[in-house]
Amino acid sequence: MPTLIDGDFALSDSSAIAEYLDDAYPDPPVFPTDLQQRARARQVQAWLRSDFMPIRQERSTSTIFYRPVSAPLSSAAQISSRKLCAAASELLGHGGENLFGHWSIADVDLALMLNRLILNGDHVPMNLVRYAAAQWERPSIQEWVRRERPPL
């Protein structure tokens, strides 16, 4: 579980951390500044955390940061994968490079979920592969991706 240390304050849970950072350090914003887009970003984040357990179980984040797996997805995870890709394609149907016109933390969450599949060799449509790659290439995200992690 991620934990943020800000001085003598510690906070766990990625949603709580993102909201705290957006309030405590508003420049640059972590969430969209438009009220409705902000609510939609939080909805996307909650949806990504609650609706894709088969993918999360079979393609955990350790497969992104340590080593991929070669086992094929179960039928439940394949269904989740198709649902994820269909919804992500719909969310990005406007053709922009971010969900809401400007980068937000919801873009990172969506890219992370897509990368659970992409980096393990599972099928993801090319437009979503490009989207996830663009999010992953952000300097702040690369700094996070390249952090030294303890051995498994």
Tell me the per-residue pLDDT of 122-145, one tens digit each, with 9 for 90 and over. Answer: 999 999 999 999 999 999 899 988
Look up the pTM and report it: 0.91
Q: Do the beta carbons of residue 128 and residue 88 sit within 8 Å?
A: yes
Mean pLDDT across 29-34:
95
Residue with tokens 């609706």: 51
Instruction: Provide DSSP, 77-113.
Output: HHHHHHHHHHHHHHHTTT--SSTTSS--HHHHHHHHH
CA separation for the pair 143, 127 (Å, rounded): 24
pLDDT band, very low/low/confident/very high, at 71 (cuts 50, 70, 90): very high
pLDDT at 14 over 90: no
Mean pLDDT across 62-66:
90
Tell me the per-residue pLDDT of 76-121, one tens digit each, with 9 for 90 and over. Answer: 999 999 999 999 999 999 999 999 999 999 999 999 999 999 999 9
CA separation for the pair 31, 35 (Å, rounded): 10
**Domains of the chain and CATH, by start:** 1-30 (no CATH), 34-145 (1.20.1050.10)
Percent of the chain's residues with pLDDT above 90: 84
